[in-house]
Amino acid sequence: MSNAKRPLSVTIIGCIYILTGTLGLVFHLRESALRHEWGYGIMLISLLEIVAIIAGTYMLRGANWARWLALAWMAFHVVISFWEGWSKVAAHAAFLLIIGYFLLRRQANEYFSPAKPLS
């Protein structure tokens, strides 16, 4: 973990990932339960929602791999949006650019860099 203070942008993004993953998981599991549809699709969607929760949680803890997981998660959404129309591709791509900007800035790099021993 880092010696740097967590930037507000990382806190907000981490919380959004946790909230998005949690709400998505609850919504999709509830919909599947109401329809009595339990297949590979809901398992994959649930796994993706859990990945968002993990990425958000560990970003808040300063894990460098978690910010890359968060970016990969959003990039995956850009790709799967191609089956749903250009407006969704554009929206997810815009989110990816915004999230990438904040997670790859100098302040975020300092926060996610390994702690240096204090001499």
Cα–Cα distance between 96 and 77 in angstroms, integer? 9
Contact 82, 89 (CB under 8 A): yes
| Average per-residue pLDDT for the chain | 90
- pLDDT(35) > 90: no
Residues 6+ apart with CB under 8 A from 4: 107, 110, 111, 113
pLDDT band at 1 (very low <50, low <70, confident <90, very high): low
- Render pLDDT for 78-112 as a digit per residue (tens, 0 to 9): 999 999 889 999 999 999 999 999 999 999 999 99
| Residue 11 reports pLDDT greater than 60 | yes
Give me the percent of the chain exceeding a pLDDT of 90: 71
Which whole number is the average pLDDT over 1-19? 90
